Amino acid sequence: MIRLDVFADPVCPWCYLGKAQLDRALEANPDHPFTLEWHPFQLNPGLPAEGVDRADYMLRLFGTQERAVQAHLRLEELGREAGVNFDFAAITRVPNTLDAHRLMHWAGLEGRQGAVISALFRAYWREGRDIGDRAVLADLAEAAGMDRALVARLLDSDADRDTVLSRDAHARERGVNAVPTFIIADTYVVSGAQKPAFWADVIRDIAERGDE
């Protein structure tokens, strides 16, 4: 198997698109060689713990409401192509995602990262849930097969906070400055939300090299 490291933040729409398109490619190529590992990268590490109002955030980010609407329309179009549904109207907060990344870290230790990252993306982008809220995170963990009570206790502590921050810092030191970023076999870097055809070509190229 070949490790595919994925650096992402669940509040990044391009990460949601990138995951959906990668998933489609992997489902279409069930003999693919990849084993996935998700890594933390906070888009907005400076946000307060309670997050911020999304309407205000978008206005600061784009300057005008019209530009924010255009960005949403573009993402909705790309989402339809990728089989991803965004419900921007349902989203009221931009959360600080440190706790979400801590949950992803623990999910990785239990072999449940795939289920948890899917749940985080779905909860935020399709259901408008605040994934900075620890009760919401505990609910998502339980739905993914993790021990809710244990996760809740961990979230209420500082457990692995420094570990996640260190991993985020290490990613930046390696040159990761935007997400999604994919690193194949600790060697080849792929940036951005790539279409399924791209990943199909990568899988085919790896298979052909293996046959040489």
Domain residue ranges in the chain = 2-43+97-211
Residue 196 in this model has a pLDDT that exceeds 70? yes
Residue 211's pLDDT band, with cuts at 50, 70 and 90, is: low
Give the architecture (CATH level 2) of 2-43+97-211.
Answer: 3-Layer(aba) Sandwich (3.40)
Distances (CA, A) of 204 to 5, 26, 159, 200, 212: 19, 12, 41, 6, 13
The structure's pTM equals 0.96
Residue 212 in this model has a pLDDT that exceeds 60? no
pLDDT at 209: 87
Residue 182's pLDDT band, with cuts at 50, 70 and 90, is: very high
Summarize the confidence of residues 145-153 as an average pLDDT: 98
In this predicted model, what pLDDT tens digit does every residue of 61-89 receive, in sequence order? 999 999 999 999 999 999 999 999 999 99
Return the SS3 of 27: helix
In this predicted model, what pLDDT tens digit does every residue of 82-118 receive, in sequence order? 999 999 999 999 999 999 999 999 999 999 999 999 9
Residue 134 in this model has a pLDDT that exceeds 90? yes
What is the Cα–Cα distance from 85 to 161, expressed in whole angstroms? 31
Summarize the confidence of residues 150-176 as an average pLDDT: 97
Say if CB 137 and CB 155 are below 8 A apart. yes
Q: Which two tokens stand for residue 162?
A: 């420094």
